[in-house]
Structure 1
Amino acid sequence: MVNIEVVDPRESRKKKCIIITSRKAELRRKKKYIKITPQDDERDAVNVKLRRVTEIQKLVEAIRVILLCSNATPIRKYGSIGYQCNFCDKEHDDPRDLKVHTLSTHKEADKLKFLQKHRGINTLKVKLDATCLRCELCDTPSDDVEQLIDHLTLKHDKSFPSNLKNFIVPFKFETSQTICALCRTEFSNFKILLQHMNVHYRNHVCETCGNGFVNKRILQCHMYRHRTGEFSCSYCAKVFDTRIKQRDHERAIHICDNKRSKCGYCGEKFNDYTKKNEHEIKVHGAKPIVLKCSACEKTFDNQRSLSSHTKRYHLMERPLPKKAD
């Protein structure tokens, strides 16, 4: 039995009602007269929070099932040296070496802890190496992550949330070229490919420019670029129309402490990232950077030179001549 205080506006008086389970229908009819207390509001807020926690837990558990039941391996990020392992701090300049490292070094115990501290669905994004994907339970190959999920569901009775694919960004490193696994477009480096992947995931869309993004956090960072105004440099008299331009100016001219100018091996800092690349190759034996132009046979050792070449010779963009005084 549950005692519920009911207010009947027709009689303008309070009365006590004893509601039993068999009279749920009557309770639903009278619910518009039930008084909602602050305790009820707090309870509803807790229930909403629990539903959100349950959703992220289901997604994380499903991703762990994929890691345990296949040869798919996660990528934490592209660091100063190369592709970083999601379970330790080791980096590899070749993604294929990272996959071998992950499969040989990190077993079931590590995979069960994957995303253990992750709490928010707004930041969930799993970069997954799906090269030569196959099921570890029966050795069946799969062309992509969706096919693998269907296989695990039908053949091995695994369960996955319907929106899981919205949070898994797949990559395939079948050759030395950096190619999108979904549209087969080639890119000069992994960071540009990573930005391109937002084209295929429109979970959150920018109202200003219409670009789509994998999660809400990336959209919020993108929206920051649309803010305009007057942003003064903290070190000199220059003024910029966006905070992004102000930040880039301060880092490049005054601070000189951005990540791209720091050696990934010894931590030595450089004013220019091309000098940093030369240092890593000569001193630490890093693999030389070779960027090939997609329109001709020329190659370059840095992204800046490649972009300048492409604009000047293939897009026919010429710098405007300086006006005479």
Structure 2
Amino acid sequence: MMLLHYGNVIPFNWNTRGFRCFYCGKEMRDCESLKEHTTTSHKKVDLETFIPQRIISKDVPVKIDITQLGCTFCDKSIANIEDLKAHIVAVHGEEYDETAGVCVFPFLLNKEMFHCVLCDEEYDNFTTLVGHMYKKHMEQAYMCQVCGQSYTDKIRLKRHISKSHVGPRCKICGKKFEAFHHVEKHKKMVHGIHKTVECDLCSTSFMNQYRLKVHMGKVHNVEKYRLKCEHCPKICTTKGAMMLHVQSLHSETRFECDICEYKTGIKWMLKLHRRKHFGEKNYVCSMCDRRFGRSSNLRAHMKVHTGNFGRVCRWCRYGFIDFESLDKHEKESHLDNLNR
């Protein structure tokens, strides 16, 4: 704080999108706009009040421009940050805590060319200069490539990345999740927001693009979503379904059932087929206790009870009429698995 109080420096923030004002966060198109804005809009700042609110961690050094470095109290020109520290102590009687570590990162901001303050290297863009300084001169400074914040060691940087950037977040409440489909489920359960896509021809809504494509092909006969097999008259509505069909029936690689004459080009489909012989039906309807060998068959069966496709528990394979019932079941019966 003393460097900002006594020094004729301009603090700023930066990430890959550009410069931002240290005091109000306004984004700037270039460094000259940044300096003009800061000197005209933030001439008087109560640093004792502002700094504790702004600096939430001592591990994040403040970036400052020292193009016209000097003491604001005695109008004395200063050569570098170290001389400014010495001047503050000797002339103004302040005590400077040298054990605080790296508090500021000094830069010479120039619109035409960016010069390194520690060597003779110069660059035509600030991003390259930052990379040079962190790599060549600041061995104990590590920068987050996502947001531009800097840290004094790798442990703190990794902690920041893990806390702030790993995993998708809910845009409404900021909660972080391991996968995007968990975010969508959270939005539906907590915020009541259902992600749907609508058919342009009949305004029917679907939960995802895949269901919409199937609908367009089957109901409206849209040629784009009616793919004809090159080997037989089979029509599929998606490329994935067609690929599965070709691999299953027309692939040169064949997997044969040792009980009947069934053949397929997909190994896992042979495994599903064998369940018919051994009566393996692990998917159970929670409404009528009817059992199925495939989760897809159970979901289709749930339509009998609800008119909508059901949901299947990933752990016990019981079926439920909707997300709400499944979620309640998982929290009551499989809480340990959810917390892993």
**What TM-score do the two structures reach when normalised by structure 2?**
0.40
Instruction: Answer with 1 or 2: which has the greater Rg.
Output: 2
**What TM-score do the two structures reach when normalised by structure 1?**
0.42
Q: Which has the higher contact order (CA 8 A, sep 6+)?
A: 1
